[in-house]
Amino acid sequence: MTGTTPTRFLTGITPSGTPHLGNYAGMMRPAIAATHSSGVENFYFLADYHALIKTQDPARVHQSSLEIAASWLACGLNPDKVVFYRQSDIPEIPELTWFLTCVAGKGLLNRAHAYKAAQDKNHEAGRDSDDGVNAGLFMYPVLMAADILIFNAHQVPVGRDQIQHIEMARDIAASFNHLYGEHFVLPEAAIEEQVATLAGLDGRKMSKSYDNTIPLFTPPAQLKKLIASIVTDSRLPGEPKQTEGSALFQLYQAFASAEEVAAMRQAYADGIAWGDAKQRLFECIDREVAPMRQRYEYLMAHPQEVEAVLQAGAKRARALATPFVQRLREAVGLRSLASAASPGGKKAKASKAQQPSFKQYREADGKFYFKLLDSQGQLLCQSQGFDSPKEAGSAIAQLQSQGMAAWAALQPQLTLAAQRSQDELSAALAQLQQAD
C-alpha cells in the first residue's frame, strides 16, 4: 500500500552442523531466489551465539560456521545484494539482548516450546525439571528477538517451529515501545507454504536429528552411494511403482524440471527398475549441485575469503546497529552524565514531554492504528486501520522522515483531528524531523 519503503527480510541460520539437501531445497534455494525480487532488503546471518546453546564443541561451531557461510556463497548468495554477516561480529546484539531481557516477562519465556520440551523430557525421565538445561536455552527467544529488532526487520522467513519465537519478539518489542517510545517495528513470521520438505534416506523428513541426511556438497561418489541407500519397496523391474509416498520421487521433484517429473511419473507407471530411477535422481541432483560444489570446495580451501565477506557484511550491519543502539541507550536512560539535568533529572523528562509523539495501537477490529499527539499530548491526527503493524509503522516512518510531503502521499489514510489545522500538524512534523 505504502510502497516506497522496502520490506526488510531477516533470517538466521544456526551453525551447528553440515548443510544437507533438505536445508538447500527448503531454505537456501528459496532464500537466495528471494534476493532477486525488487522492493526488498535481505539480512541473512550466521546465528553463532545461538549455536553455543546447542553445542559446546568449539571445533564444531568453528567448522560449521565456515561450512555454512561457504555453502551460502557457493549457492549463489550475492553479498553485495544481501547483508550477510555473523551474529557474533555485532556486539550491539548482546547489548540489545540485555535491554530486552529487562522488559521480557519471565513467564513469557517459561512458555517457550523449546524450553518446555526440555523440561518435559526431564519429567518423563524422572529428573529434576531443569536438569541439564542451560540458561541460554531459556533466553533463546530474547536473543532471537534482539537479532530481529536490531535491524527493525518486517518479515522473518522461518519454519513453522519458529513462529512462537517471532510472536515473542513482537511481544517483547511492544513492551519496550510501550515503556520507552516507538523504537521497534513489530516483526511478522513469513512462512513459505509451498516450499519443499525433503524426505531423507529412510523416508522420514530429512533432518540432522534423524541421521538420514544427504550432505549438500558430498563428493559425487558418496552422493551416488547415499542415493543408492534410499529406502524403496521391493517391487521388481517391470512392476508398476507408486509415486505417492516414494522418497525417491519426492527428492526428484525437488530438483527436476516439470517435464522430467512427468517423464519419471510415467517411468514409475511403466515399472522402471529402482536402480535406474536412482541413477536418474543422482544425475539430476548432481547437475544442479556440481557447479556449486566446485565453488564450495574452493571457498573451503580459502577460508580467508569467506572471512573477508563476513567482515564486510558486519561493517554494513554495524553501520545501522551502532547508531540504533546508541539511540536505545539514550531511551532507557544510559546517557552521558554531562547532559544530566538539574535536580532530579526533570529537564530530561520535560524535554520528552515537549516532543510530539506517535502512538501505535490495535483495535478490537483487529486492525493496526496510530495517532499523532502534539507536545501537549493532544490529538493532532489519526490513521485509519492498517492490516499489519508493518504498514502502520512504515506510514509513521514516512511522516517522520518526509513531514508534510508524506501527509499528502498518505491521504486518505490519515485524518486531521477536529479543530486542528494543517499548520499545527506541519509544525509538529517539522519538530519531529529536527529531533531525529
State how far Cα 417 lies from the chain centre: 38
E strand or H helix at 293, and its extent?
helix 274-301
Minimum CB–partner distance for residue 56 and ligand TRP (Å): 17
Name the packing angle between helices 247-255 and 258-269 (round to 10°).
160
* Closer residue to ligand TRP (CB): 31 or 380: 31
Residue 25: CB atoms within 10 A of its CB come to: 22
* Closer residue to ligand TRP (CB): 53 or 406: 53
* Closer residue to ligand TRP (CB): 10 or 69: 10
* Closer residue to ligand TRP (CB): 47 or 69: 47
List contacts with ligand TRP (CB under 6 A): 10-12, 14, 47, 50, 144, 147-148, 156, 158, 162
Minimum CB–partner distance for residue 144 and ligand TRP (Å): 4
Minimum CB–partner distance for residue 148 and ligand TRP (Å): 5
Burial of residue 180 (number of CB atoms within 10 Å: 0-12, 13-18, 19+):
middle
Minimum CB–partner distance for residue 187 and ligand TRP (Å): 8
Q: Are 178 and 211 in contact (CB under 8 A)?
A: no
Burial of residue 236 (number of CB atoms within 10 Å: 0-12, 13-18, 19+):
exposed
Minimum CB–partner distance for residue 323 and ligand TRP (Å): 21
Give the three-state DSSP class for 370: strand
CA 258, CA 143: separation in Å to the nearest integer?
42
Q: Are 72 and 28 in contact (CB under 8 A)?
A: yes
* Closer residue to ligand TRP (CB): 68 or 148: 148
Max CA pair span of the chain = 92
Name which of 46, 42, 60 is nearest 13 in CA terms: 46
Q: What cell does 227 get?
A: 542415493
* Closer residue to ligand TRP (CB): 156 or 226: 156
Minimum CB–partner distance for residue 160 and ligand TRP (Å): 11
* Closer residue to ligand TRP (CB): 14 or 64: 14
Minimum CB–partner distance for residue 161 and ligand TRP (Å): 8
Minimum CB–partner distance for residue 135 and ligand TRP (Å): 17
* Closer residue to ligand TRP (CB): 11 or 253: 11
Chain residue whose CB lies nearest ligand TRP: 12
Minimum CB–partner distance for residue 293 and ligand TRP (Å): 24
Residue 216: CB atoms within 10 A of its CB come to: 24
* Closer residue to ligand TRP (CB): 11 or 246: 11
CA 375, CA 62: separation in Å to the nearest integer?
52
Q: How far is CA 263 from CA 257, 274, 277, 280, in A?
A: 10, 15, 11, 11
Cα dihedral 203, 191, 317, 22, rounded to 10, equals 10
* Closer residue to ligand TRP (CB): 137 or 227: 137
Minimum CB–partner distance for residue 156 and ligand TRP (Å): 5
CA 110, CA 28: separation in Å to the nearest integer?
31
Minimum CB–partner distance for residue 147 and ligand TRP (Å): 4
CA 76, CA 136: separation in Å to the nearest integer?
33
Place of cell 547483508: 83
* Closer residue to ligand TRP (CB): 161 or 259: 161
Give the three-state DSSP class for 21: helix
* Closer residue to ligand TRP (CB): 163 or 409: 163
Q: CB under 8 Å to 22, separation ≥6 — which residues?
A: 197, 198, 200, 205, 206, 207, 213
E strand or H helix at 265, and its extent?
helix 258-269
Rg (CA), the chain: 26
